[in-house]
Amino acid sequence: MFSFLSGNAGKKKIASVEQSGSWVYIYDLKGERIKTLSTNQVGIVQGFASDYFVSKYANWIYLYDVEGRRYKTLTASQVGDIISVSEDCFMSRFGTNIYTYDKKGTRLRIRAAR
C-alpha cells in the first residue's frame, strides 16, 4: 500500500474548476490555483473530475487535463449536450439517445434516453 501512495504523492488533482467573468480557474486539493485560462479559448465549463474537465465553446467540446492543456476536441453536433462528468467517463444527450464517452473522448456506449 505504501508504494501506491508514494507513487501518486506528487500528482496534481483537480478539486475545482471555476468560471468568473472572462477567466476559468483550475484549483488543486490544497486550494492552490493550478492554472488560469481565458473563456475565449475554453468556453463554458460543463463539468470536471480529478484529472480532466470538459468545456463547450461554440460547436466544439474540449477535454482539458489537470495542467489546463487541451488534449481532445469533439464536435458538439455529434456529441450533443453534456449531462454529467465523472472520474472515468462523461455522458451526453443527443436527440433521443444518451452517449457515454471515456475521459479520452472515445464513445463507449449508446442507449435510449428515458
Q: How many domains does the chain have?
A: 1
Place of cell 435510449: 112
Nearest to 93 by CA among 75, 73, 113: 113
Encode pLDDT of 45-62 as tens digits.
999 999 999 999 999 999
Does any domain span residue 83? yes
Q: Given a cut of 50, is residue 19 above it in pLDDT?
A: yes
Q: Rounded to an integer, what distance in angstroms lies between the CA atom of residue 102 and that of residue 105?
A: 5
Does any domain span residue 55? yes
Copy the grid coordinates of residue 87: 472520474
Does any domain span residue 38? yes
Does any domain span residue 78? yes
* Residue 35 · residue 26 · CB < 8 Å: yes
- If 0-12 CB within 10 Å is exposed, 13-18 middle and 19+ buried, where does residue 45 land? buried
Does any domain span residue 7? no
Encode pLDDT of 61-104 as tens digits.
999 999 999 999 999 999 999 999 999 999 999 999 999 999 99
Does any domain span residue 1? no
pTM of the model: 0.88
